Chain A
């Protein structure tokens, strides 16, 4: 077989990769960790039991209990609104100028829920099972079951808020199937589901702001966590308009700050997405779980030039009718595709995976596209010496079904493509390339969504969500809203039942320390008379991550990446150039803080990837694949959550393993045959 993905694979080799720890020397083994909050009993009953057992704060006392919510996307917005309704005193923070602009707004496809409105055999159990399997058996059973259970309430809640989901002529809600599952359980609002859900949560939040239970701080970025006597008690935020560092103290802190896909520089994430909120918490004692689990989406619009700032996703549904190919001969790469004869085209997915063809799962489609381009057979403009793109050709479908049929199915996607690329996809084949899209890793949390720092809760994409090693389409929105509307408000009260906690002053040494460290960082950037812009470092870091910790990871590559990152990080601290002052808007300064944290995260991601010498879900280790290039999991050795503890500046991180125990489902190989 000419599949280049196999080149590095040699499972029969005497020094079988599974025998030794690639990451030895990069980390320190620590004690195992386990979730202690999920109650006993059958998985179906756990959530009811937990809700009943979790103590309640007397309504009369709630006014005295204060909550800090960092992030007002789907997860944070919905949680803040619900906690405000309950009567707590809530403060919300977000870096955008309004909560309505959180990155959740960009989600297109839809949101899953086990409503079984189609009567096609869906159920909580089936959604649970699909999610576990989709996550390649690397998620925690109890959490996932609960997610499936509350999914139905989400739809009720959103409809009552006025979210305009798509409807059928009879006036009832419409569903579609999504992401290769066998039932239609995805609710959607055209291609803008995330927007409509977020606006629903945002409006609920603004309602509480109007009612005075929630105070909103927009354009405020969290730059440090305040931990007093082992409990999370507040945050240091920078007012991005005045530049002032503010201290906000409370009884509990919730982080719902989204994902960190921007460590790759180019991704489908919004420009401001960052790891700072969670990373600062990590440095204060919150464990970071499975940081290397990244989802790469195969159908994005390729990079057009060296100045590209972000990538745009196009719905995966395009692969239903489009055929993917590259020229057989690298010399044809810059030819007009319409002039390349049928015989000179390589429909590589159809060739390599005759049974699945163009519909192979996301990770395989992505990886093969990369291989083609690495071989020099990529198409489209040359960016830094390589053409990164493959054709997604609709000419056959247009001939077979007629242009109007294609227009009605994909019209808006074709228009978007045309607007961005300036090419007409009805005439010339589209070009696509994979891009980083979502991170499954995040802060470790227990069943209550509490991190390893008491009083620090984490919701949404920011926690090491319920998606294991791979997320199914339309499940992130579900998880964000499940966490925010239904889970967190019910679990946090158990913690708050012991509050109000002792009042702390801004002069408390722990507060002063947090504030001063934030100040010192800012001052360093402003006074460092370097020569290179923040963006240029970010771009270079992103290239390293993409190259070595992207679609395919190998031992050598990851080790090389760690070295490169460390060198670049040193250079960044010595040589970065941030102009302007700290007492007003300074976007370079904001970026510098974020990129500084991305360096540390990037290194940990590589170490995590190095440790996990198996392929599972979005994590593909070149050393661990079957003969035909499919991911090879090693349940005997890696059926654990890797929870990393920060050990201090320049110290090796400590790895705590949480064993994944499956009672309700049996582990099985994820197969596409």
Chain B
């Protein structure tokens, strides 16, 4: 395959960025999107041009590192991560535009790499169960209905990639946030801190500069793990309850 790539290049956080156009040839359908970029990077190095910086690690769809906006779609045209997107999803001769996630809370570091540490800080403000090591009761002490355990698992699969934010017209991280609230809220272990958790995580979410959700739903369409919109409803409900309880 022969492709024309229009890629956002930006030398550093403060630098002016812009789209650069590159041509690649002999791309095989079996390559992943990132392997295609590897090929381009080798080509650039040969031509004494600095290779394109992008985040990636597991290349297996689970670590959540990879994060490219491809032709205006977060993670590209399939419902999967960028690393699991394969070139057979594109046509020979196609022009592909590749951009970084854009959101005020995800500042660009270089080229296609952004800073998603805001997510860590949201978790640090309550995305856990406060249990010290060694203080846990026997695992069978509290049975969890399978239904709740399954829902908790379904939403716990969020990989923290940030595609939801990138796709949301409001730059909201509600899907990410709702996934964690729902995960812990479904389990008996998460009940004690339920109100404080949602109150402080929402506060951190807003503080980081993410937008408010207006239930548009682009986030869930972009989510490689299919986190459903119910988690945002759950988030809202939990916050409403927290307000009622005086938070």
Contacts and interface: CB of A to CB of B under 8 A. Distances in A.
Taking the complex as a whole, does A directly touch B, i.e. does some CB pair lie under 8 Å apart?
A: yes
Interface of A: 78, 81-82, 85, 96-103, 105-106, 115, 117, 153, 155-162, 164-173, 189-190, 192, 195-196, 199, 202-204, 206-207, 209-210, 216, 218, 241, 268, 270-272, 304-305, 307-310, 312, 381, 419-422, 485-486, 489, 533, 535-536, 577, 579-580, 584-585, 587-588
Contact of B65 (A97, A156, A587): A97
Contact of B62 (A106, A155, A310, A533): A106
B105 to A, nearest CB: 14
Interface string B13-38: 00000000000000011111011001
Interface string B228-243: 0000000000000000
Contacts of A162: 128-129, 152, 183-184, 187, 189-190
A597 B213 CA distance: 47
Contact of A309 (B34, B46, B153): B34
A96 B49 CA distance: 25
Contacts of B12: 584
Given A100-B160, A160-B131, A533 B115 contact: no
A168 B144 CA distance: 9
Contact of A167 (B58, B78, B131, B144): B144
B82 interface: no
B246 interface: no
A101 B183 CA distance: 19
A97 B117 contact: yes
Contacts of B159: 105, 195
Interface string B54-81: 0111111011110000000000001010
A216 B53 CA distance: 23
Contacts, number: 214
A106 B120 contact: no
B214 interface: no
B156 interface: yes
Interface stretch (B1-9, B132-140, B163-171): B132-140
A303 to B, nearest CB: 10
B109 interface: yes
Main secondary structure of the interface of B (DSSP, over half): loop
Given A81-B133, A579-B49, A307 B35 contact: yes
13 contacts: A82-B133, A101-B64, A101-B65, A106-B63, A162-B184, A171-B149, A173-B140, A189-B153, A206-B120, A270-B60, A308-B35, A489-B133, A579-B51
Interface string B82-109: 0010101000000000000000000001
Contacts of A203: 123, 127-129
Nearest to A535: B42
A421 B40 CA distance: 22
Given A155-B139, A307-B38, A164 B63 contact: no
A157 B125 CA distance: 21
A157 B62 contact: no
A478 to B, nearest CB: 14
Interface residues of B, number: 77
A204 B131 CA distance: 8
Q: Which 6 A-B pairs have the closest CB atoms?
A: A171-B143, A160-B136, A203-B128, A210-B124, A164-B153, A304-B30
A533 B42 contact: yes
Contacts of A170: 143
B136 A157 contact: yes
B58 A103 contact: yes
B65 A210 contact: no
Contact of B60 (A157, A310, A422, A486): A310
A536 B51 CA distance: 14
Given A206-B127, A422-B29, A422-B86, A585 B38 contact: no
A587 B187 CA distance: 41
Contacts of A167: 143-144, 146, 149-150
Contacts of B46: 533
Contacts of B138: 156
Contacts of A101: 57-58, 63-65, 160
Nearest to A381: B30
A106 B125 CA distance: 26
A419 B35 CA distance: 15
Given A160-B129, A206-B120, A579-B48, A96 B63 contact: yes
A100 B162 CA distance: 13
Contacts of A195: 62, 157, 159
B136 A210 contact: no
A207 to B, nearest CB: 4
Nearest to A190: B153
B139 A202 contact: no
A167 B157 CA distance: 16
A161 B86 contact: no
A585 B30 contact: no
Contacts of B35: 307-309
Contacts of A272: 57
B152 A156 contact: no
Contacts of A190: 153
B203 interface: no
A422 to B, nearest CB: 5
A133 to B, nearest CB: 26
A475 B29 CA distance: 37
A159 B139 contact: yes
Nearest to B123: A206
A11 B39 CA distance: 47
Contacts of B134: 153, 157, 485-486
Given A96-B63, A195-B157, A307-B35, A161 B131 contact: yes
Nearest to B128: A203
